[in-house]
């Protein structure tokens, strides 16, 4: 399988109160066509910033200070902005968190879809763009009549479908979805989850899913990356990472999820994520880690490969203590 996207040693920096913070720090991964990666972690762990970096929309004064992002073999961080805009609009689409709430209330769904097409495909005729919009709506199981409606006439679930239709309209190679189900009701969440699953199967969609919801990750991802304080602390196949987490953070995070079955235990991670202005010495998770040893405070653990794809940044990952 071909690599459709590679991120190499990416570092995104923001100036904050006189110092520089690394919101994304030495992150590397690659993605094959048709597969999906779930990136998860607590709020502030850098998962949305990573998505924005791939799209080249890091708000100033933040910037990519290190690393490369290769899409279709080309480094999109190094090319001119017009060229990279083209690639990103065409090849990579992003569904922003809460995008369904920022549809323009003054325009019909059709107007807003046409705007997207015109911005990227100047030579498309009106009838062609109309077909494109209708086809896209069909992909998300909405009828063409929805095109003539205004956002306030649609339910939350329908708006989210419209947003997904817009992202799919230009037939992107990669779809990045930032919290595609948050702020929806549970049943609608499950319906949207099913839609994304269906799109993965029927269109062979390559998906990067950004979410704090470990249940959603399990539904939609082949690979999982767990972020903590700007870094990947564990990366691997869904089955190995969920089945036998090698990082205590992953283990504790999975245990913190409230479930409807199994033993009813209250489990949580004490403390809070570090302030990135002054991250702790050694392992960044050490102040919250119940398995901390002196080595964890002295030495920053590097991501280490186990087997063919499982990577972990923990000094004690092989001790089987959790």
Partner 1 sequence: MPSLRGEDLVTPHQEVAALPIIPEREFALRTVDLTRYFYGRRGLLSQLKRPPIPIRAVDGVNLTIQREEILGLVGESSCGKSTVVRLIAGLLKPSGGEILYRSGTVQPSTTLVAYPDSTEHGSIEVLHVEKLQGESIKFYRSQVSLIFQDPFSSFDPRFTVRGILEEPLSVHGVAEKERRGLIEEILEETRLTPVSEFLDRYPHTLSGGQRQRLGIARALVLDPRMVIADEPVSMLDVAIRAQILELLLEERRKRRISMLFATHDLSAARQICDRLVVMYLGKLVEEGLTADVIQSPAHPYTLALIAAVPDPEPANRSRIIDLPIKGEIPSALEVPSGCRFHPRCPYAGEQCRVEEPPPIKIDDNHYSACWFAEKVKCGVAP
Q: What is the binding site for partner 1 (CB under 8 A)?
A: 42-43, 155, 157-158, 185-191, 193-194, 197-198, 212-222, 238-239, 242-243, 252-254, 256-261, 264, 266-270, 272
Spatial separation of the C-alpha atoms in residues 243 and 315, rounded to whole Å = 20
Which of 82/266 has CB closer to partner 1? 266
Which of 107/242 has CB closer to partner 1? 242
Beta-carbon-side half-sphere exposure of residue 178 (alpha carbons within 13 Å): 19
The dihedral formed by the CA atoms of 2, 195, 211 and 290, expressed in degrees to the nearest 10: -90
CB of 32 to partner 1, least distance (A): 16
Is there a contact between 176 and 163 (Cβ–Cβ < 8 Å)?
Answer: no
CB of 184 to partner 1, least distance (A): 9
Is there a contact between 109 and 148 (Cβ–Cβ < 8 Å)?
Answer: yes
Which of 50/217 has CB closer to partner 1? 217
Strands (E), the chain: 3-16, 19-32, 36-40, 63-71, 74-75, 92-95, 174-178, 206-210, 223-228, 231-237, 304-306, 310-312
Is there a contact between 53 and 210 (Cβ–Cβ < 8 Å)?
Answer: no
CA separation, residue 122 to residues 85, 94, 126, 128, 165 (Å): 14, 21, 11, 12, 20
Helix (H) or strand (E) holding 84: helix 81-91
Which of 72/156 has CB closer to partner 1? 156
CA separation, residue 288 to residues 231, 248, 257, 283, 284 (Å): 16, 10, 17, 10, 9
Both tokens assigned to 305:
């490969």
Q: Which residue has the tokens 């690394």?
A: 22
CB of 57 to partner 1, least distance (A): 24
Which of 127/258 has CB closer to partner 1? 258
Pairing status of strand 36-40 against strand 206-210: parallel
Which of 91/234 has CB closer to partner 1? 234
CB of 3 to partner 1, least distance (A): 22
Which of 71/154 has CB closer to partner 1? 154
Which of 214/292 has CB closer to partner 1? 214
CB of 273 to partner 1, least distance (A): 8
Is there a contact between 89 and 69 (Cβ–Cβ < 8 Å)?
Answer: no
CB of 188 to partner 1, least distance (A): 7
Q: Which of 170, 215, 209, 164 is nearest to 190 (CA)?
A: 215
CB of 263 to partner 1, least distance (A): 11
Which of 81/186 has CB closer to partner 1? 186
CB of 106 to partner 1, least distance (A): 21
CB of 252 to partner 1, least distance (A): 7
């Amino acid at each position: 399988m071909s690599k459709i996207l590679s991120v190499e040693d990416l570092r995104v920096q923001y100036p904050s109160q006189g110092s520089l913070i690394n919101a994304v720090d030495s992150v590397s991964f690659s993605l094959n066509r048709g597969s999906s990666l779930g990136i998860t972690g607590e709020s502030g762990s850098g998962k949305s910033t990573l998505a924005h970096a791939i799209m080249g929309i890091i708000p100033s004064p933040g910037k990519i200070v290190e690393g490369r992002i290769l899409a279709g073999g080309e480094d999109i961080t190094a090319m001119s902005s017009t060229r990279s805009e083209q690639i990103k609009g065409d090849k990579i689409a992003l569904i922003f968190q809460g995008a369904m709430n920022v549809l323009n209330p003054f325009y019909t769904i059709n107007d807003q879809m046409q705007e997207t097409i015109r911005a990227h495909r100047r030579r498309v005729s009106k009838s062609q763009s109309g077909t494109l919009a209708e086809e896209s709506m069909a992909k998300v199981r909405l009828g063409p009549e929805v095109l003539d409606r205004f956002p306030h006439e649609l339910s939350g679930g329908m708006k989210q479908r419209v947003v997904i239709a817009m992202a799919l309209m230009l037939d992107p190679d990669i779809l990045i979805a930032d919290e595609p189900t948050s702020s929806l009701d549970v049943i609608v969440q499950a319906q949207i989850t099913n839609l994304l699953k269906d799109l993965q199967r029927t269109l062979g969609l390559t998906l990067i899913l950004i979410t704090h919801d470990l249940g959603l990750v399990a539904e939609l991802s082949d690979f999982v990356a767990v972020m903590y304080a700007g870094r990947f602390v564990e990366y691997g196949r869904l089955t190995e990472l969920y089945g036998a987490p090698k990082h205590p953070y992953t283990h504790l995070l999975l245990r913190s999820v409230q479930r409807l079955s199994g033993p009813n235990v209250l489990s949580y991670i004490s403390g809070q994520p570090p302030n990135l202005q002054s991250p702790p010495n050694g392992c960044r998770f050490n102040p919250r880690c119940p398995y901390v040893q002196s080595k964890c405070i002295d030495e920053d653990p590097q991501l280490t490969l186990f087997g063919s794809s499982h990577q972990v940044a923990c000094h004690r990952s092989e001790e089987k203590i959790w």
